[in-house]
Amino acid sequence: MSVRIKFCGFTRAADAALAAALGVHAIGVVHVPGSKRHVPLDAMPAIRAAVPAHIDLVALFVNPDADTVRAVMAALQPSLLQFHGDEADAFCTQFGMPFIKAMAMGEGAGDIGLRQKDYPSAQAFVLDGHVPGQLGGQGERFAWAGLPILDKPIYLAGGLHAGNVAEAIRTVTPFAVDASSGIESAPGVKDADKMRDFIRAARADGR
Ligand SMILES: O=C(O)c1ccccc1N[C@@H]1O[C@H](COP(=O)(O)O)[C@@H](O)[C@H]1O
């Protein structure tokens, strides 16, 4: 099966519509106050309308409260939730929706082979480069080689762009690749050429 492509951090419906037309499999929307890509509830229906139903629409949170998740579910109608903080499995499952769980990689990450056991209900793991003290989406790559085989599919994230995604796919053979800053001209503003180049490079890998 060829690698799936998730683009994340959309703030503009037109960018999401273009990504969908280019053939990505998943489109992410960040609802994280403090993020440069934070999308408020009232901007979500336009993004929802721009994304066809066959493409996953992913709502991304960092340590939200349950009411916030429910409000985003109502406004965005996502097909998948992404928890990018320290949320426990029991918190993530309460919404009755499939979810993917981010694991911060890099210095101090610990043993992900062990950490994955804390998330029996996750559909997949998002492995993301982490900058201490930052929320995420910093374009931070981590060392891809030598990752353990995990029990669930991997969305490989962290500093991916057209110039390194093929190498990343060859090294990790993930289920999906996930990019945000590497396909932007400014935070939250997606760049059409960078998105096209990324997709071409990911597919050129031939998986
Ligand atoms: O994009 C953000 O602002 C963000 C905020 C909080 C948590 C995660 C965030 N982004 C996600 O991080 C990964 C990797 O992003 P990048 O390609 O390294 O920029 C991706 O899933 C982003 O959506």
As for the ipTM of the complex, it is: 0.96
CATH number of 4-204: 3.20.20.70
Select from 10, 30, 99 the residue to mutate for testing ligand 1; criterion: most ligand atoms less than 8 Å from CB: 30
Degrees (nearest 5) of the Cα angle 85, 61, 190? Answer: 115
Atom index in ligand 1 nearest the CA of residue 84 equals: 7
Pocket, ligand 1, Cβ cutoff 6 A: 8-9, 28, 30, 32, 35-37, 60, 62, 84, 126, 128, 135-140, 157-160, 178-182
Question: Residue 1's pLDDT is what?
Answer: 65
**Whole-prediction pTM:** 0.95
Domain chopping of the chain, boundaries: 4-204
pLDDT band at 110 (very low <50, low <70, confident <90, very high): confident
- For the chain, the average pLDDT equals 94
pLDDT digits (tens, 9 = 90+) for 50-60: 999 999 999 99
Question: Residue 205's pLDDT is what?
Answer: 60
Query: How many A from CA of 176 to the centre of ligand 1?
Result: 15
Q: Quick one: three-class SS letters along the chain? A: CCCEEEECCCCCHHHHHHHHHHCCCEEEEECCCCCCCECCHHHHHHHHHHCCCCCEEEEEECCCCHHHHHHHHHHHCCCEEEECCCCCHHHHHCCCCCEEEEEEECCCCCCHHHHHHHCCCCCEEEEEECCCCCCCCCCCCCCCCCCCCCCCCEEECCCCCCCCHHHHHHHHCCCEEEECHHHEEECCEECHHHHHHHHHHHHHCCC
Question: Residue 46's pLDDT is what?
Answer: 98
100: closest CA among 188, 25, 16, 10?
25
Asked whether residue 109 carries a pLDDT value surpassing 90, the answer given is no
Question: Residue 106's pLDDT is what?
Answer: 80
pLDDT digits (tens, 9 = 90+) for 141-188: 999 998 888 999 999 999 999 999 999 999 999 999 999 999 999 999
